[in-house]
Structure 1
Amino acid sequence: MLAPDLARGVMLLLIALAHSRMLHAGGLALTEPAGGGPVDIVVQWLLTSAVDGRAAPLFGLLFGYGLVQMTRRHSGPGGDPARARRLIRRRGAWLVVFGAAHVVLLYSGDVIGAYGVFALMFAGAVAWSGRRLWSVAAVALAFGVACYTVLQLVAGTGGAPHVGATLLDSALLRAATLPVVPFAALSVLPSVLIGIWAGRLRVLEQPERYRPVLRRAALIGFPVAVLGAQPVALQAAGVWAPDTVAGGIAALALFSATGIAGGPAFAAAIALVALRIGDRRGPVTNALVACGRRSMTFYLAQSPVWLVVTEPSLLGLGGQMSAAAAAGVAVATWVVTVLIADVLGRTGRRGPAEALLRRLTYRGRA
């Protein structure tokens, strides 16, 4: 299945670019200009328009899609749907553990734990009706928009990054963010539910069957996501500022609400590319697929880079780079992970994180 794996490989590039914000002066506040020359301004505008808050829904969509695939494997002919739900919850519990360790040891912006909480709370969502999936997604989106807007307002008032004078201080600061994980799980709920809906239809597994749907998703989703980001992206570029506090809040709310369209748009575009590639896979496609099949490993593998670059006791470059240089670090990090994944793919080895998670999830089970 080329499309899901290819989408996961590309997704890791988008995640790296989104995380590169911590390296330039804009930081966590989306509306804060990073300054620099014309190239830096253009890079920050592009990333704010098309990546920030637009790539994360692709991660959620693919997670939901994967839950359907996992359920289908264990509840097919002669299978046991109840066992599938138990396995999803067991896997979710271990994802929470992985996510907590990731936060404390490396990076506070973890999403693995949030998806683990989702699996624990909503393992039965795979069996929900389509109407229920979309209804709950709409309510969760409204809640997520409110939370996102508040967090951005806090970041805009100088919310400190999670770094301290020493590595231990930073770890303690990151550990203090763990209680937010359940709320983060609710914020990813809309995109995961959309992924469940798409997984039940096998949209990414059978792109030739859904070609018109995929085209509409891309042609509508990208304009909605990009245009909805402009009130914030133009602030990040330093060319516009709201006249009132209410205007700033409305800009952030619009940015968050329209970002959900980015997930289906990216997934649809990648599925159409996969359909065009077909069986004519070259070395680049194979490397991306290998990375996508080991997406958890190479998502985690990016975090040591952010730790080393941002920690004051190490390189201490957090907030010191230009936007273009920060994006360059993100791209270079992703390229290295793709090359390593390609080696693992050629030798037939699983990603270490996937292998460990699988062993823990299925331990003691036939």
Structure 2
Amino acid sequence: MRELKIIKPGLLTTVQDAGRKGFQQYGVPVSGVMDHYAFEMANLLVGNDAAEAVLEATLLGPEIVFEADGLLAVTGGDLGAVFNGEPLPLWQAVPVTSGDKLAFKGIRSGCRCYIAISGGLQVPVIMGSRSTYTRGNLGGHQGRALKAGDNLSVGDSPLPAAALTQPAEKRQITPAYQYAKEITLRVVPGPQEDAFSTQGLETFYQQPYTVTNECDRMGYRLEGTPIAHEAGADIISDGIAMGAVQVPGHGMPIVMMADRQTTGGYTKIANVISADLPLMAQAKPGDILRFTKVTVEEAQHIWAARQQEMAAVKKALALNPREETPPAHENTPSAHENTPYRKELFRFRRGGRPYALVVEELEE
């Protein structure tokens, strides 16, 4: 049986994937990974589907013994990974065989790392996801953070044997993010921006804020200059997106994250853009945050550019030949076969099942 054995669990190590989507109307949080970029890159490096389940470790990493052959990749924050006693390069896939050991010496940068192995972690799928929501004792491994002595099953590796002998340069990437102690986050205006005074808005965009010790997968409490409201901080509860910046009556912002509640009754001054959420996810107590405003259109362009970069990385890695085989319908003549067009393929999973979507963009 292909397994991982947890010798030491670290501070907080959980099984996570892209999240439990489609159930917020029932009060079920999305959960899933905090840093989607590092998560997807870890999976792509080892030849998995980008949404396969991985381990997310926070601040202090686990000690793991592998009883599965394949590829291993660690991405995200630098928690001092060592593999069989030697420093392990991040953002690179390395061959792993039964008996190999992964451990961590201590944090150097960032806050969270992602541990992926070819085949992915095979915990039960609950509501379409393998992610762990510890507050609800839901998903992952028995609905909780890992403990010493836990064993996790690993799926069959999707890789051909030749992938394990590829040169190192074919199994590594240069990450798009660097994790610093001072972070500038781009945000779009929140739905209650008009609830804040002019002075309050100037404070938010001009003053630095420090991440407090009250920061976890649910949200980050910040401290700094209080943000003034125009009238009050309470609203009729409405939905909360990941990266929403709530400001209660005391004026100190709270950035909501993966395990956030589905609705909330505090004014939201802004929302961190999707492309910068990985930076927010890697912030830790004592880090300094600054916020700068962009338009929704600018945020969309930034996100589209990031997606193109990730598509290029996926193509360059090309660890799994099956990923390069187009679905049958791509060879079917298009209704616009006499018209120049660009074709783009998107692969995704929903409810645990793989899908492929082909988008054809006509060129006028």
State the TM-score, normalized to the length of structure 2. Answer: 0.26
The structure whose residues are more often strand, as a share, is 2
Higher-Rg member (1/2):
2
| Larger relative contact order (Cα-Cα within 8 Å, sequence gap ≥ 6) | 1
The structure whose residues are more often helix, as a share, is 1
